[in-house]
Amino acid sequence: MRIIGTGSAHPSLVVTNKMLENFLDTSDEWIVSRTGIEQRRLISSESLEDLAVESALKAMENAGVVPDDIDFLIVSNVCNDYVTPSLSCVIQGELGIKCPCFDINCACSGFIYALDIAESFLATKDLRNILIVCAEQPGRMVDWKDRAQCVLFGDGAGSVVVTKGDDMKAIRLNTVSKVDPLWQKRAMQPTPFLRKEEHDGPLVMNGQDVFKLAVSSSIDDIEKVLSKANISAEDIDLFVLHQANIRIIDAIRHFSKQDKSKFPVNINKYGNTSSATIPILLDELNREGKLKNGDLLLMSAFGAGFTTGACILRWSK
């Protein structure tokens, strides 16, 4: 497969750390030094569907394709207003595309999982272009009274259009069933026969456990994709990593022994937008002309599950 277009969209509301100080026992200094986050964007008047559609349209325009050129739509999303139908069904009509579609929920690793599915579909089905949309609103999942988690997240969407090609050099997905460090349940409708208690509440996170799992599993994935592709860390031009915490990115960087300039970040502006962080960062790099033909990108992400994924992709847009 080959990426031929990128797009992203952000809510209009910018929420700075200073604004959080108004209702949380926190400080800009604490948040910046522990996470690297200075501000995030949060949904207020717009909807998640608006962001998903905007980022998808920008990716299609960037790819030079029209809705009729898209043969499959994959949406990565953890939660949205609808339980059913899927977010992909909801936005497919607004986008004016006519093709099968489905959602995946692989938490923050969703973009890497979607790339792998797209790669397999392009290899085995008669498809021209696949649109991948990662649209997330973790701002609606967290407890806004819990300073240890709400400061971390932001809402946003990132999209890519992929077509047949030979740019995927290696990919690794991994899932280890570990629910405790990061989970959220929502209550379903009662029945006259229900005999168990239901839990309905915000995200529950053990930050330190997630931090340790994130670093160890990302390092493992990165080692494995480098070895699979027979490429050394020196040969990688950019490490486009999930933007969850600058200290996690720094830990991975120290392990790889590569220069800081190879690790682009935008977590300071957007916080953790779940599976949207990598396509949003990719779109920024693409539009700022920071990606050269032939560049080798290593992408790596981790998220609830515990799901992880990494891949090495040549840029040839």
Binding part of the chain for ligand COA, among 24-32, 117-125, 186-194, 282-290 by CB under 6 A, reads: 24-32
Check 242, 245, 286, 311 and give the catalytic one.
Answer: 242
Instruction: Quote the tokens at residue 38.
Output: 């200075």
33: contact with ligand COA by CB under 6 A: no
Tokens 């926190």 belong to 26
CB-CB neighbours of 232 under 10 Å: 9
Strands (E), 22-79: 39-42, 70-76
249: contact with ligand COA by CB under 6 A: no
Binder of ligand COA out of 1, 3, 31, 222 (CB under 6 A): 31
- Smallest gap from Cβ 146 to ligand COA, in A, equals 8
- Smallest gap from Cβ 173 to ligand COA, in A, equals 16
183: contact with ligand COA by CB under 6 A: no
Kindly state the number of chain residues that form the binding site for ligand COA, as judged by CB under 6 A.
Answer: 19
Check residue 189 and give left, alpha or beta (phi > 0: left; psi -120 to 50: alpha): beta
Count H helices and E strands in the chain, helices first: 10, 13
Query: Would you give the binding string for ligand COA spanning residues 161-180, x where CB under 6 A is met?
Result: --------------------
Give the pairing type, strands 70-76 and 129-136: parallel
Binding part of the chain for ligand COA, among 8-16, 144-152, 159-167, 194-202 by CB under 6 A, reads: 144-152
297: contact with ligand COA by CB under 6 A: no
Tell me how far apart the alpha carbons of residues 250 and 107 are, in angstroms, rounded to a whole number: 22
| Nearest CA-CA partner of 279 in 262, 269, 266, 268 | 266
Check 79, 101, 108, 134 and give the catalytic one.
Answer: 108
184: contact with ligand COA by CB under 6 A: no
7, β-bridge pairs: 159
Q: State which H helix or E strand residue 123 sits in.
A: helix 110-124
- What's CA 37's distance to the chain center, in Å? 16
The reply to whether 272 belongs to the active site is yes
296: contact with ligand COA by CB under 6 A: no
For ligand COA, the closer CB: 140 or 169: 140
Buried b (16+ CB within 10 A) or exposed e, 274-301: bbbbbbbbbbbbbeeeebeeeebbbbbb
For ligand COA, the closer CB: 26 or 174: 26
The reply to whether 79 belongs to the active site is no
Residues lying near ligand COA in the complex (CB under 6 A): 26, 30-31, 34-35, 108, 147-148, 151-152, 205, 207-208, 210-211, 244-245, 272, 303
User: Any idea which residues carry the catalytic annotation?
Assistant: 108, 242, 272
